[in-house]
């Protein structure tokens, strides 16, 4: 049933300006034939089984595309986008589909542009410290190539084993080490972009400084609503000489939060400051046992990196601070093997929580670091109020609180309670001067919370910017901003 959307029909009919203008099967076949001509018949997927596979990402959002194309070059992407424009069909860029906020879901049908075949590292330029990659390059694949040369690309989202640089750029991804090194936008120098008009453009520069307005910054984090970035020029830096990891476990969640505050107050800037709560530790131990005691309330990971000298002192200082707020146990990992062991629980956290619980809503509200103790307290109230369990994993240094709200979708009313708890968390974050996303994007899931952060006028200004590039509203529609109709 081409032209019809799965799952979100109500939304589609109120939002889908393009929809009413489109024809039925005939038009659809013409579109498909045009796509065949551009990327080749076997790179256009249209069977129900294929379309079902592409009807979701890692969020709970669903929406089935009418076709999936697998282009192999920027020119092919441009051709596909031109066809979509001609027929007023939405296009949805997609990388590995690890999006946690619904950004890669075909909410209004249309053509998913899956960039997985564009996975070449085009250039590694060590003296100028930059790498040029295609959008479909997997983050960790790039890291592994760079590591052989003693370099790294700093952003390290938890999904880095599968998520792509294109997706990281679209979502402005963070990661544990972004506390010290900054999120994706701080590491993107230039982009090759296919605009919704089908034009190919180059934004930014591979050197510092670019005259005019910061279009690279504007595109980064715009979740495909400004077009499709197909190539990225990234800043790369030498790997630190050394790294040490401190793991501490606590009988009180607040104590872990205090340790974070004191480490920051001591003037240190660790590469990572991560907290996991008891619910997460229990999930990890049940799924991928690491030998952690499950009767503790919090685990804190601190990573320090830099020159060899000074690392010991920094790690010891962090360990002392943890002991000073009554850590039950503190370990320091110095070798890669020791460090991997200490990180194991953290790296397994999301998977373990998802594995043990049939339903899970993930959110990444971010709050000022100093408000964390209050937020943790009030989050316990939210858990009680909605009779729901929240497994917490925090990029604590950044105040970025990943609350994984666990529920059983077969139990009546439980999903609704989970959604009410999510809303309460976002309201709480906004109230204390925080925001509704640290690194997962707005996608479709958080659109209804945008009004917690933005006035109507703010949203209209953003829409006006988006419409400069996408006057027809075909670039990943239904993402980031509330529908124009809904906000009028």
Binding residues for a second copy, total number by CB under 8 A = 83
Is residue 367 involved in binding a second copy (CB under 8 A)? yes
CA distance 228 to 460: 22
Name the minimum Å distance from CB 413 to a second copy: 28
Of residues 213, 337, 412, 488, which one binds a second copy by CB under 8 A? 213
Toward a second copy, which CB reaches closer, 75 or 199?
A: 199
Is residue 484 involved in binding a second copy (CB under 8 A)? no
CA distance 76 to 83: 11
Residue 276 in tokens: 């996991």
Instruction: Give residues with Cβ within 8 angstroms of 432, minimum separation 6.
Output: 367, 368, 371, 374, 375
Helix (H) or strand (E) holding 151: strand 151-152
Show contacts with a second copy in window 123-142 (CB under 8 A): 125-129
Show contacts with a second copy in window 334-363 (CB under 8 A): none
Is residue 468 involved in binding a second copy (CB under 8 A)? yes
Show contacts with a second copy in window 31-90 (CB under 8 A): none
Toward a second copy, which CB reaches closer, 77 or 284?
A: 77
Beta bridge partners of 131: 124, 234
Show contacts with a second copy in window 149-178 (CB under 8 A): 150, 172, 174, 178
Name the minimum Å distance from CB 197 to a second copy: 9
Greatest pairwise CA separation for the chain in angstroms: 71
Toward a second copy, which CB reaches closer, 71 or 227?
A: 227
Residue 241 in tokens: 């000489």
The sheet that has 91-94: what strands, in order across it?
44-45, 67-69, 111-114, 91-94
Show contacts with a second copy in window 428-467 (CB under 8 A): 433-439, 441-442, 446, 449-450, 453-454, 457-459, 461-462, 464-466
Show contacts with a second copy in window 291-330 (CB under 8 A): 306-310, 313-314
Of residues 143, 160, 220, 357, which one binds a second copy by CB under 8 A? 220
Report yes or no: 189 and 138 within 8 Å, Cβ to Cβ: no
Toward a second copy, which CB reaches closer, 116 or 172?
A: 172
Name the minimum Å distance from CB 308 to a second copy: 7
Tokens 């107050």 belong to residue: 265
CA distance 224 to 170: 6
Report yes or no: 160 and 140 within 8 Å, Cβ to Cβ: yes
- Exposed, middle or buried, 274 (CB in 10 Å: 0-12/13-18/19+)? buried
Toward a second copy, which CB reaches closer, 199 or 381?
A: 199
Name the minimum Å distance from CB 30 to a second copy: 29
Toward a second copy, which CB reaches closer, 172 or 348?
A: 172
Of residues 398, 405, 421, 475, which one binds a second copy by CB under 8 A? 398
Show contacts with a second copy in window 225-244 (CB under 8 A): 237-239, 241
Name the minimum Å distance from CB 260 to a second copy: 10
Is residue 148 involved in binding a second copy (CB under 8 A)? no
Report yes or no: 286 and 356 within 8 Å, Cβ to Cβ: yes
Of residues 221, 224, 270, 473, which one binds a second copy by CB under 8 A? 221
Residue 73 in tokens: 């070059």
Of residues 261, 287, 290, 329, which one binds a second copy by CB under 8 A? 261
Report yes or no: 46 and 32 within 8 Å, Cβ to Cβ: yes
Of residues 14, 144, 326, 370, which one binds a second copy by CB under 8 A? 370
Alpha helices in 184-333 (DSSP H): 215-219, 253-265, 278-287, 311-324
Name the minimum Å distance from CB 269 to a second copy: 7
Toward a second copy, which CB reaches closer, 237 or 286?
A: 237
Is residue 205 involved in binding a second copy (CB under 8 A)? yes
Instruction: Give residues with Cβ within 8 angstroms of 117, minimum separation 6.
Output: 43, 70, 71, 72, 136
Residue 320 in tokens: 């002392």
Residue 473 in tokens: 């509203």
């Amino acid at each position: 049933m081409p032209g019809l959307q799965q799952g979100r029909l109500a939304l589609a009919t109120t939002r889908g300006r393009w929809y009413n203008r489109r024809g039925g099967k005939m038009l659809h076949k013409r579109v498909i034939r045009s796509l065949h001509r551009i990327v080749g018949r076997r790179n256009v997927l249209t069977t129900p089984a294929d379309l079902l596979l592409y009807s979701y990402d890692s969020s709970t959002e669903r929406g089935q595309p009418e076709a999936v194309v697998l282009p192999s070059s920027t020119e092919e992407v441009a051709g596909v986008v031109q066809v979509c424009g001609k027929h007023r069909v939405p296009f949805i860029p997609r990388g590995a589909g690890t999006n946690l906020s619904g950004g890669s879901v075909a909410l209004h049908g249309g053509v998913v542009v899956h960039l997985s075949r564009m996975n070449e590292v085009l250039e590694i330029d060590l003296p100028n410290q930059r790498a040029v990659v295609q959008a479909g390059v997997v983050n960790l694949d790039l890291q592994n190539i760079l590591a052989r040369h003693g370099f790294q690309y700093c952003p390290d989202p938890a999904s880095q084993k599968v998520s792509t640089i294109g997706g990281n750029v679209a979502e402005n991804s963070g990661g544990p080490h972004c506390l010290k090194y900054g999120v994706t936008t701080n590491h993107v120098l230039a982009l090759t972009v296919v605009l919704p008009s089908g034009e190919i453009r180059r934004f930014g520069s591979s050197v510092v400084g670019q005259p005019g307005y910061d279009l690279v910054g504007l595109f980064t984090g715009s979740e495909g609503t400004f077009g499709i970035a197909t190539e990225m020029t990234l800043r790369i830096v030498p790997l630190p000489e050394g790294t040490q990891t401190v793991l501490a476990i606590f009988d009180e969640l607040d104590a872990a939060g205090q340790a974070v505050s004191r480490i920051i107050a001591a003037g240190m800037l660790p590469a990572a400051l991560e907290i996991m709560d008891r619910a997460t530790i229990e999930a990890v131990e049940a799924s991928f046992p690491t030998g952690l005691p499950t009767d503790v309330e919090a685990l804190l990971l601190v990573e320090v990196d830099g020159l060899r000298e000074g690392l010991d002192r920094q790690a010891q200082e962090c360990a002392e601070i943890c002991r000073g707020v009554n850590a039950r146990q503190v370990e320091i990992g110095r070798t890669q093997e020791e460090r991997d062991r200490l990180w194991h629980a953290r790296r397994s956290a999301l998977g373990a929580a998802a594995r043990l619980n049939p339903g899970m809503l993930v959110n990444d509200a971010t709050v000022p670091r100093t408000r964390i103790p209050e937020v943790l307290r009030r989050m316990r109230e939210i858990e009680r109020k909605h009779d729901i369990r929240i497994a917490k994993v925090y990029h604590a240094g950044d105040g970025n609180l990943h609350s994984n709200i666990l529920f059983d979708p077969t139990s009546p009313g439980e999903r609704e309670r989970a959604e009410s708890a999510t809303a309460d968390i976002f309201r709480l974050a906004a109230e204390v001067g925080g925001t509704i996303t640290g690194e997962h994007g707005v996608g479709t899931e958080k659109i209804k919370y945008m009004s917690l952060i933005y006035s109507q006028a703010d949203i209209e200004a953003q829409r006006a910017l988006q419409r400069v590039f996408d006057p027809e509203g075909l670039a990943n529609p239904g993402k980031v901003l509330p529908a124009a109709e809904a906000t009028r």
